[in-house]
Amino acid sequence: MPRSLQRMSFPRPQGRRARRAPGWALILPVLACTVTSGGGAAAADIYRSVGPDGVISFTNRKKPEGGRLVARDPGRSARTPSFPRDTSPERYTRYDAYIREAATLYQIPVELVRSVIHVESDFNPHAVSRANACGLMQLIPETAERMMVTDVFDPRENIFGGTRYLRVLANLFNGDLELTLAAYNAGEGAVLRYGGIPPYRETQEYVARVLAYYRKYRGE
């Protein structure tokens, strides 16, 4: 890596009164996150339910028995309209409501979602990379389909899809923050293949940049 990074993880909290880790380490539970293909977008109605074993699950399917609606699709007409590319400071707060909504739903820190958006697109909802990654959180077509995003340029859909993907990766890598970010950049296959952060300069620098913004947004 370009420089060493403090090891961070999302360990499963023990009990209801689990305390927050010191410094900028995170305590984030590993959740059950139901991701189905087709039939809806990331901005569709999403339900939360708790199974007999206490595992929290999310689904966009018809309300499960005992499930509680936690995010409702406001309809395309109610969503934020497309914005032309701008360099105004307001772009850094324009999507705060969507970020908070998605972060709360998937239990990912707001500051982390914001940091990923900052590095991925600099808060440009129309950004398109050479790899055809699109929107605020730079979703490639395959990831957008997996996360049920139908319009990658819709800010709310993109943020929900990207945050959902962070949750899927956090679950896959047992909450390890560095591996979660590395997989977001290089793909989970690369992280699994190398058993850690891949030896790609782009990925190593990406992890470092996101963590730097994360510290900044947390005021550290």
CATH class of 46-74+89-217: mainly alpha
Catalytic residue among 101, 120, 157, 178: 120
Q: Where are the domains of the chain?
A: 46-74+89-217
The region of weakest confidence among 76-80, 92-96, 109-113, 156-160 is 76-80
Q: Is residue 1 a contact partner of residue 25, using CB atoms and an 8 Å limit?
A: no
Mean per-residue pLDDT, 185-189: 96
The Cα–Cα gap between 33 and 56 comes to 8
The Cα–Cα gap between 12 and 220 comes to 24
Amino acid at 121: S
Mean per-residue pLDDT, 36-55: 50
* CA dihedral of 8, 98, 55, 61, whole degrees rounded to 10: -140
Nearest to 166 by CA among 153, 156, 176: 176
Asked if the model's pLDDT at residue 79 lies above 90, the reply is: no
For 88-138, what is each residue's pLDDT tens digit? 889 999 999 999 999 999 999 999 999 999 999 999 998 989 889 999 999
- Which residues contact residue 139 at a Cβ distance below 8 angstroms, ignoring those fewer than 6 apart? 133, 147, 149, 152, 158, 161, 162, 165
Mark whether 120 is an active-site residue: yes
Average pLDDT of the chain is 76
Asked if the model's pLDDT at residue 200 lies above 90, the reply is: yes
pLDDT at 77: 39
Split at pLDDT 50, 70, 90, the class of 16 is very low
pLDDT at 87: 75
